[in-house]
Amino acid sequence: MSAKIIKDGVYAVGAVDWNERHFHGHTYMTRRGVTYNSYLIIDEKITLIDTVRKSFEKELLENIRSILDPSKIDTIIINHIEPDHSGAFLEVLKACPNAKVYGTGKARDGLLKYYGVSGDWIAVKSGQSLKIGKRTLEFIDVPMIHWPDSMFTYCAYDKILFSNDGFGQHYATNKLFDDEVNFDVLMEEAQKYYANILWPFNMLVASELAAISKLNLAVDFIAPSHGLVWRKYISDIMEKYLYWSAHKYKKRIAVVYETMWNSTEKMARKIVEGITSEGVEAILFDVTKNDRTDIVSYMMDAKGWVFGSSTHDGWMLPVIAEFLHFLKGSKAIGRKSFAFGSYGWSGEAVKDIEDTISNITTFDPFFRVVFNPTEEELNKCFELGKSFALKIKNEE
């Protein structure tokens, strides 16, 4: 990506990682790639906000050089230290020998642990600000959006909120603004991002959004460190963040299963038929054929969760086990579930499912069948789906 202008004196100078498909280790399948956004403000004090992943440090410095010599940078703001934003920190420090570095105390401690240096650091917190010329930058602590060190930086002059991981999307593109891409794709990626990055921290996100709203900031742009800059759809994304962080969800149902010899799959299909016969939306996810990133995104916005697995060696099957292990970190509340599956002689999978995620959902009695479901047992699956749909539809 080359440098792009957001407003007079404010540039996006980050990088596009078109082919990244496994972000955060293998926790997040980034089907549309990733961007690492960094911003340069030209004022009396030249200011860089956030860096990029280490593998893109040359691109960041080239983008800065297309505007000015990086040695002229006076101020580096580190909103968050995760290596997708701080990986280029050492190279940036070398290129900007006179810069003072601003961030939270936790960010400084983290950088010291990661890289052994933190530069000429000035610790800041909510309520503090930095005058860089005609602009003043205000700092807002937002712990757990996404790590304890995280903060936002607000520029009232340009009405830009630099939100780092907040309001991000993993969406590689050469476009800069939200209204330059397809709205539905943008919101799909924003939801997936929230579900896979911020959902576990809902309580803090909700209280921090409430605190920010009391500041009555005028915001024309939200500039996150991943994905597109919001300018047209700011109220849409704010509304979504308030909705997701309040643990709200639709009256719809995800049916997630893994099958060995298709018996559990036959049950799953009948359960979905039963659910949809009541006019309730359901999606059937074979967990071995879908990205868990997409499944989790749908589930964040679904009240009903149904899980199926064949029993194998006394446990549920391994891919759904891995999925549930990931899901239980969501700290979801208010969901309803039941488990089902086929087995040969012992049938532990359904109980294994319940035990694994009883911290985030409540279970109706399970249903399991020996080997292959009979016609009668498939009818029972249909009825279970139907009654579960009624429960989801009618319960507040």
Candidates 22, 24, 26, 325; catalytic one: 24
Separation CA 213–CA 215 (nearest Å): 5
Q: Which is nearer to ligand FEO, 27 or 290 (CB)?
A: 27
Candidates 20, 141, 149, 165; catalytic one: 165
Q: Which is nearer to ligand FEO, 29 or 283 (CB)?
A: 29
Q: Least distance from C-beta 50 to ligand FEO, angstroms? A: 9
Q: Least distance from C-beta 289 to ligand FEO, angstroms? A: 28
Q: Least distance from C-beta 145 to ligand FEO, angstroms? A: 9
Active site residue 82: yes
Q: Which is nearer to ligand FEO, 110 or 341 (CB)?
A: 110
Separation CA 140–CA 154 (nearest Å): 8
Separation CA 78–CA 290 (nearest Å): 35
Q: Which of 58, 61, 51 is nearest to 81 (CA)?
A: 51
Q: Least distance from C-beta 55 to ligand FEO, angstroms? A: 14
Candidates 17, 43, 50, 84; catalytic one: 84
Separation CA 82–CA 34 (nearest Å): 15
Quick check: 384 and 340 in contact, CB under 8 A? yes
Separation CA 231–CA 177 (nearest Å): 7
Active site residue 158: no
Q: Least distance from C-beta 209 to ligand FEO, angstroms? A: 17
Residue nearest to ligand FEO (CB): 82
Q: Which is nearer to ligand FEO, 228 or 256 (CB)?
A: 228
Q: Which is nearer to ligand FEO, 85 or 380 (CB)?
A: 85
Sites of contact with ligand FEO (CB under 6 A): 80, 82, 84-85, 146-147, 165, 225-226
Q: Least distance from C-beta 225 to ligand FEO, angstroms? A: 6
Separation CA 37–CA 226 (nearest Å): 6
Q: Which of 154, 136, 170, 157 is nearest to 27 (CA)?
A: 170
Separation CA 1–CA 18 (nearest Å): 10
Active site residue 239: no
Active site residue 146: yes
Candidates 82, 158, 189, 265; catalytic one: 82
Candidates 28, 36, 146, 171; catalytic one: 146
Active site residue 28: no
Active site residue 226: yes
Q: Which of 348, 349, 347 is nearest to 371 (CA)?
A: 347
Q: Least distance from C-beta 367 to ligand FEO, angstroms? A: 40
Q: Which is nearer to ligand FEO, 121 or 201 (CB)?
A: 201
**84-94 burial, b if ≥16 CB within 10 A, otherwise e?**
bbbbbbbbbbe
Separation CA 83–CA 36 (nearest Å): 10
Quick check: 257 and 285 in contact, CB under 8 A? yes
Active site residue 74: no
Q: Which is nearer to ligand FEO, 81 or 378 (CB)?
A: 81
Q: Which residue numbers are catalytic?
A: 24, 80, 82, 84, 146, 165, 193, 226
